[in-house]
Structure 1
Amino acid sequence: MNTTPLLDPAVAAGDRSPNRRPSRRLVAHLAQMLVAMLLGMFLLVPVWEAALRSLGWEAAGTGAEGTALAMATTMSIGMGLWMVHQGHRLRDVGEMCLAMYLSLALALVPYWAGVLSADAALAVGHVLMLPAMVAVMLARRTHHEGTTARAVPVSGARKVLDAVAHRWPTLLGLGLTFDSWISPGIPSPWLLVFLGTEYLVIGTLRRQFRRDRVLALHVVGFVVYAGLAVLAATLPPDAAAYVVAAGWLLHVGWDAALHRANRIVWRWYAETCVVIDLVLGLTVLLVVR
């Protein structure tokens, strides 16, 4: 009689899943870092260019080396803040950033030799980043498999980084409105209709509304903002600007209320909107004064 014990399918699945879960976590971690890198570059490159202009330089005049430095720095900031937010050690953050800088530096070598153009060298550098980051992750596999906070020494610098990383929606809002401070303008009055509609639509799609006064308040808000848009569209430009500014600034209170209630929209979305609405409302006032 065969005495070999039968393998329970559930046990077999349980034996295999620990091997698969770390791989999935590594892939998810890599994807998160790539998104954070792109956001960092998208939001901070304009800041970099504005800083150069304030010094009398143009970003285009810094050559491939300056462009590579700007890209590596802005992407490292975005990725580094996200890693700190996820609880990774500063050493892990530094190693990952170093991999990015080295990838771009390595790609500049054939550019200096005259083999590649500047654009081609930067493209090669971005391609090299992916295997370089994967290599670091595999070398420090146990540090990158999880996304929960680890026990790390709490220093003053760490506390500052944690505070900045946890306020990433605020940083996102500031990045999205950076051009408003450099080149302030007056948004279209009809954007006020969007302000009155966005939370009503999101709340409906997320099934956040019940038969209570919250839905009624959002409908009233839509009507009020539609009225402000019509009013601003019919007034003279200077008067219309004050109506537009009032609409954006009043919306800050709406954002803050939803952020506090943690309902209708995501808290990060409400926090980002607080910053965007505040900046746009203030810059409109600066334009008309």
Structure 2
Amino acid sequence: MTETTPTLGTDTDTTQAAGWLRVVPMLAHRWPTWLGLAFAAINLADTGDGTEFSFLLLLAASGYLLVAVLDRPRVTWPVLYALVAAVVVLRLFDFDPWPVLAVVAVLVVAVGLVRGQLRRPGLYALQSPAALGFIALGLAALYVPADIGRYLVAAGLLAHAVWDGIHWRANKIVARSFAEWCGVLDLVVGLAILMLVH
């Protein structure tokens, strides 16, 4: 009777391979987090005084409002793409996107209140005041000295990260993947403004 000697490292290699196979789906499942980190890195690559990130407050607030009024979370990402495209087109034609999108947000609030989506209880009813608050904070940051403005933008982004977290947990209004992406982006950029911009 012959004995076979176990190959050294085989069980360990198999266990490590199985561990990695479990990690990969977990990392892939967190794609909104990685996308948020990538967007934050791209945006922070060319940081000025910090107030240039006030547009993130406008985009986020407008996006949440539009999706709430449409009452279809599955259109969250297309709404974001449309808003970003609108900003790009407006800037290509030398139009400041702030007034245009702020007016659109006010019109969306009016439509949502008339049609009733923004009068529904819970998170729906909070969309209008929250969006108008974030937009007002972003606008205020543009009209005060930059030393104060950057702190307003940072505070707005950190507050919006909390708002994203509330939506992520509730899994309502916007797609959960969007709430995660937006929360990571807001948190990282908000903290970076506080730490990196002097």
- TM over 0.5, shorter chain: yes
Partner residue in 1 for 2:181 = 272
**Which of the numbers 125, 135, 144 marks the counterpart of 1:216?**
125
Supply the AA of the counterpart residue of 2:140.
L
* 1:188 CA drift (Å): 4.4
* 1:237 CA drift (Å): 0.6
Partner residue in 1 for 2:82 = none
Q: Which has the higher contact order (CA 8 A, sep 6+)?
A: 2
Deviations 1:237-285 (A, max 9, x none): 1100000011111101111111111111111111111111111111211
Determine whether 1:198 maps to 2:107: no
Determine whether 1:179 maps to 2:42: yes
Deviations 1:113-151 (A, max 9, x none): xxxxxxxxxxxxxxxxxxxxxxxxxxxxxxxxxxxxxxx
Determine whether 1:163 maps to 2:72: no
CA contact (8 A) 1:180 1:283 kept: no
Change (3 A) 1:175 1:255: same
Counterpart Cα distance in 1 of 2:185 and 2:137: 19
CA contact (8 A) 2:55 2:138 kept: yes
Moved over 6 A (4+): none
**Could you list the runs of 5+ residues in structure 1 that have no partner in the other structure?**
1-153
Q: How does 1:235-254 map to 2 (within 5 A)?
A: 235-254=144-163
Rg (Cα) greater in structure: 1
Counterpart Cα distance in 1 of 2:123 and 2:169: 14
Say how many residue pairs are matched: 137
Counterpart Cα distance in 1 of 2:152 and 2:158: 10
Counterpart Cα distance in 2 of 1:259 and 1:172: 16
**Could you list the runs of 5+ residues in structure 2 that have no partner in the other structure?**
1-16, 74-116
Supply the AA of the counterpart residue of 1:235.
V
Counterpart Cα distance in 1 of 2:72 and 2:41: 33
Deviations 1:58-107 (A, max 9, x none): xxxxxxxxxxxxxxxxxxxxxxxxxxxxxxxxxxxxxxxxxxxxxxxxxx
Query: What is the DSSP-based 3-state SS (H/G/I as helix, E as strand, rest coil) of the residue aligned with 1:219?
Result: helix
Partner residue in 2 for 1:189 = 54
Using the size of structure 1 for normalisation, the TM-score is 0.43
Supply the AA of the counterpart residue of 1:252.
A
Percent identity between matched residues is: 38
Deviations 1:187-228 (A, max 9, x none): 243542333222111121235746224222111102211221
Supply the AA of the counterpart residue of 1:275.
V
Determine whether 1:225 maps to 2:88: no
What is the root-mean-square deviation of aligned Cα atoms in Å?
Answer: 2.3
Counterpart Cα distance in 1 of 2:161 and 2:121: 23
Supply the AA of the counterpart residue of 1:287.
L
